[in-house]
Structure 1
Amino acid sequence: MVDDISPCEPDRHCRAAGKGPTMRLANIRVDGRTRAARADGDTLVVLEDELTDLLRRPGWQDLALTSNGARVPVAGASFAPLVTTPDKIICAGLNYKAHIAETGRPTPEHPFFFSKFPAALIGAHDELRLPTVSEQTDWEVELTVVIGEPVRDVDESGARAAIAGYTIMNDVTVRDWQHHGPTWLAGKTFEATTPLGPYLVTPDEFPPGEIDLELTCSVNGERMQKSRTSDLLFGVPVLISYMSRVLTLLPGDVIATGTPSGIGGRMTPPRFLEPGDVLTTAIPGIGELQNVCR
């Protein structure tokens, strides 16, 4: 497995056309601690803070860009969840047009959200713990946003300015528990089921405007989901703006933007994750998650 680190040359920071320096940040386990790290070629430069704490510091971008520490080879790094103590994990549901069609549900008039708790999160290569109470654990690749500054009651322009960067989540879902009642929480936040990472890629690495990226999910090398974020019903700035009307979004908060079509529960016959399966979740330009199910 090769993570998509960066098109930069080693020891250089990328610059998108007409924009400032861009960064790829990770959260890695070093000497018994979780520390933020900046990707630099095939190495990771270890920073002082854990990434969640770094994002809460004023001027975190400059700190992340200029700080230097020990170097860890990417190939040998132990990736922790990208953020470990977010104040909020907010997930959009029914937000890809093709996915809405496969579920047979009506198209939402407004963004629809549910939540997760931090104990659900695992790192990019950690084992995924299948629940013992169900045999219906399903996959959901998602483009995910991390907030970089406090934001409340903003329009879409203000929402864009609040984005620290983009990452990847697999919103692994226990389908039968998801539908035990009218809300989805129970099926969405089983402990150690939700890989998040491997990198936080700052917005300047992407063209201006609504982001358009390919996202895929595979099980044991077999492609299950493939789509583009251009199929989103509500785009990233709309989701952030909508939630900012409800509550203050804080640095380190996670917003997952929904999954495309191809979930196992809608296959004929349905397919679900089993022990030993390798779940691979990827967005070119951001990276790849690869998690073995146990």
Structure 2
Amino acid sequence: MQLVNFRRNGANSLGFRIGDEIADLTEVGGPASIDQLLASGSDAMAACEALSSKAVSRIPLSGIEEWLPPVLAPAKAIAIGLNYVEHAKEGAQEVPSYPVMFSRYPSSWVGHNAPIIQPRVSKILDYEGEMAVIIGKPGKYISREDALAHVAGYSIFNEGSIRDYQMRTHQWTIGKNFDRSGSFGPYFVSADEVPAGASGLRLQTRLNGKIMQDANTSDMIFDVATLVATLSEVMALAPGDVIISGTPEGVGAAHKPPVFMQPGDVCEVSIEGIGVLSNPIELEASD
């Protein structure tokens, strides 16, 4: 199944995708977000399809007034760096033997169709198309063999990175967390709709229609099961936690000459079976 968080009549709603339409589950007693749904457990997830048949409103995808990120307030959003061999090489980095991890905060991303913001202090806003992994079942010290049972679904992330700030410190967090510098969405796609671990899916990033990144999720150094198991050694994973699984080669900084997102551009990230995340780029407004 495919679910969306969206705004309708000034309030948050949970939608169930049926073809080119969204059935509003909130108006027939469902939760107001995917966050609430995940917190309610697997039975609530399983009831979504039956609830969708009772929905009064069917809203065309083109009629959604505001798309919200698939997870609104994760307890943790952990991004993975250098998780594709060729991306590590293009950045003159060693291929990691252990996942490179850093935090990404909800204030740093927007939903589908909302503008990604180029900050006033930098013009070096890079794209990074990535797959997002959304946890459904809590756990600590999860074995790799059991890890995929803890994944509720997948989505798409554009990890906009302010490269000059990123490289000012040994830790990348500052360059990865400018307000509204990335995006997340549009759909939450349940794990049963894609291959195990969402492996073998084509991932593309397009800037103004031009393909900039073109890879496959099977090329990840650390696959989804490994990431879940490794992170759970450090912290208990909770429903709604997000793992942003890393970007492949072709980032703007690696092009010759470099190509960065600029105001007026449109950046799209597509992942086979999961959807297309599209965002215009705007300059941060002056006070």
Give me the TM-score of the superposition, normalised by structure 2.
0.92
Task: Map 1:81-230 onto structure 2 (within 5 A).
Answer: 81-208=69-196, 211-230=199-218
1:63-93 CA distances to partner (integer Å, 9 max, x unpaired)? 3222233221112113111111111110000
Which residue number in structure 2 is paired with residue 66 of structure 1? 50
User: Aligned residue for 1:275?
Assistant: 263
State the distance in 1 between where 2:261 and 2:45 align.
Answer: 38
TM superposition shift of 1:207: 3.0
Letter of the structure 1 residue corresponding to residue 35 of structure 2: T
Q: Which 10-residue stretch deviates more, 200-209 or 177-186?
A: 200-209
Is residue 151–residue 159 contact of structure 1 (8 Å, CA) maintained in 2? no
SS at 2:132 equivalent: strand
Kindly state the Cα deviation for residue 104 of structure 1 after the two structures are TM-superposed: 1.4
Q: Deviations over 1:247-289 (max 9, x none)?
A: 0111111101100000111111212111101111111211111
Shift of 1:183: 0.2
Aligned AA (1:234): F
Of 37, 62, 65, the match for 1:54: 37
The whole-number CA distance in structure 2 between the counterparts of 1:207 and 1:183 is 34
AA aligned to 1:47 is: L
Cα deviation 1:176-201 (Å, max 9, x = unaligned): 11111110011101111221111111
1:36 equivalent in structure 2: 14
For 1:65, the aligned partner's letter is E
Residue among 45, 54, 67 paired with 1:79: 67
Over the aligned positions, Cα root-mean-square deviation in angstroms equals 1.2
Moved more, 96-105 or 237-246: 96-105
C-alpha contact 2:198 2:217 (8 A) present in aligned 1: no
Which of 10, 24, 42 does residue 2 from structure 2 map onto?
Answer: 24
Separation in structure 1 between the aligned mates of residue 105 and residue 195 of structure 2, nearest angstrom: 32
- Report how far residue 34 of structure 1 moved: 1.8
Unaligned runs of 5+ residues in structure 2 are 283-287
Residue aligned with 2:116, SS: coil
**Separation in structure 2 between the aligned mates of residue 238 and residue 190 of structure 1, nearest angstrom:** 29
- Per-residue CA deviations over 1:204-258 (Å, capped at 9, x if unaligned) read 1123466110000111111110000111101011001000010011111110110
Query: Taking every aligned residue pair, what percent have the same amino acid on both sides?
Result: 37
Aligned 8 A contact 2:148 2:196 in 1: no
1-structure distance, mates of 2:72, 2:192: 24
Tell me how far apart the structure 1 counterparts of residues 129 and 226 of structure 2 sit (CA, whole Å): 20
* Alignment TM-score, normalising by the size of structure 1: 0.90
